[in-house]
Amino acid sequence: MDIRIGLGYDLHRLAEGRRLVLGGVEISFSKGLVGHSDADVLVHAIIDALLGAAGEGDIGGLFPDADPRFKDADSRTLLAAVMDRLRSKRLAVRHVDCVVVAEAPRIGPHAARMKDALAPLLGLAPDRLGIKAKTNEGTGLIGEGAAIACWAVALLESIDPAERF
Ligand code: MG
């Protein structure tokens, strides 16, 4: 069995006047994440975990934030492009686990909706996509509600050319 793991991390600042898109879903909140794309920090961390496992660099290399094509991009389309890349390398995603670090809003109540949005894109059953949430116990930028961070790990399996995929 040829397996690979990847680790992803991302952080975006929160600001008023932006919609909050997290885990591929929109959440009603007074602030949203700031970024060139929709700034979906959870999807960005997953993308970096996948690219790391695939030996394909990182999200900034693939989708530069100076590129106008990715202005306000739906991060799910970036994830779909990464999945195409993995399929072309005959790499199957077997499991993804994530930790969202946010003081507010509460992430737990939205986790099921996020799984429904992202698991099909990853080709995973919902129980193979973990989305967990932590606060930062009131400390630092995240604790002050100025940013949201996310960690993700991905397990990929290299599929034999003789195998149906
Ligand atoms: Mg990002």
Domain of residue 24, CATH code: 3.30.1330.50
Q: What is the DSSP letter of 105?
A: S
Query: 149 alpha carbon to ligand 1 midpoint, in Å?
Result: 9
Which percentage of the chain shows pLDDT scores above 90? Answer: 90
79-95: average pLDDT: 97
Which pLDDT score is estimated for 161?
80
| Residue 10 pLDDT > 90 | yes
- CA–centroid distance for 72 within its chain: 16
**b/e for 26-46, b at 16 or more Cβ within 10 A?**
ebeeebbbebebbbbbbbbbb
pLDDT tens string 14-65 = 999 999 999 999 999 999 999 999 999 999 999 999 999 999 999 999 998 8
Please indicate, yes or no, if residue 14 is contained in any of the structural domains. Answer: yes
Which pLDDT score is estimated for 165?
72
Ligand 1 ion local residues (Cβ < 5 A): 10, 44
Indicate the pTM of the whole model. Answer: 0.96
Query: 164 alpha carbon to ligand 1 midpoint, in Å?
Result: 34
Query: 126 alpha carbon to ligand 1 midpoint, in Å?
Result: 23
Domains: count for the chain: 1
pLDDT tens string 96-113 = 999 999 999 999 999 999
Q: Mean pLDDT of all residues in the chain?
A: 95
66-86: average pLDDT: 93
Please indicate, yes or no, if residue 104 is contained in any of the structural domains. Answer: yes
Query: 112 alpha carbon to ligand 1 midpoint, in Å?
Result: 22
| Residue 125 pLDDT > 80 | yes
What residues make up the domain containing 57?
Answer: 3-158
160 pLDDT band, cuts 50/70/90, is confident
Please indicate, yes or no, if residue 138 is contained in any of the structural domains. Answer: yes
Query: 136 alpha carbon to ligand 1 midpoint, in Å?
Result: 19
CA dist., res. 160 & res. 163, Å (int): 5
Which pLDDT score is estimated for 35?
94
Which pLDDT score is estimated for 5?
98
Please indicate, yes or no, if residue 164 is contained in any of the structural domains. Answer: no
- Which is it for strands 3-16 and 147-158: parallel, antiparallel or unpaired? antiparallel
Query: 26 alpha carbon to ligand 1 midpoint, in Å?
Result: 16
Please indicate, yes or no, if residue 165 is contained in any of the structural domains. Answer: no
Please indicate, yes or no, if residue 163 is contained in any of the structural domains. Answer: no
Centre a 10 Å sphere on the Cβ of residue 25 and count the other Cβ atoms it contains: 19
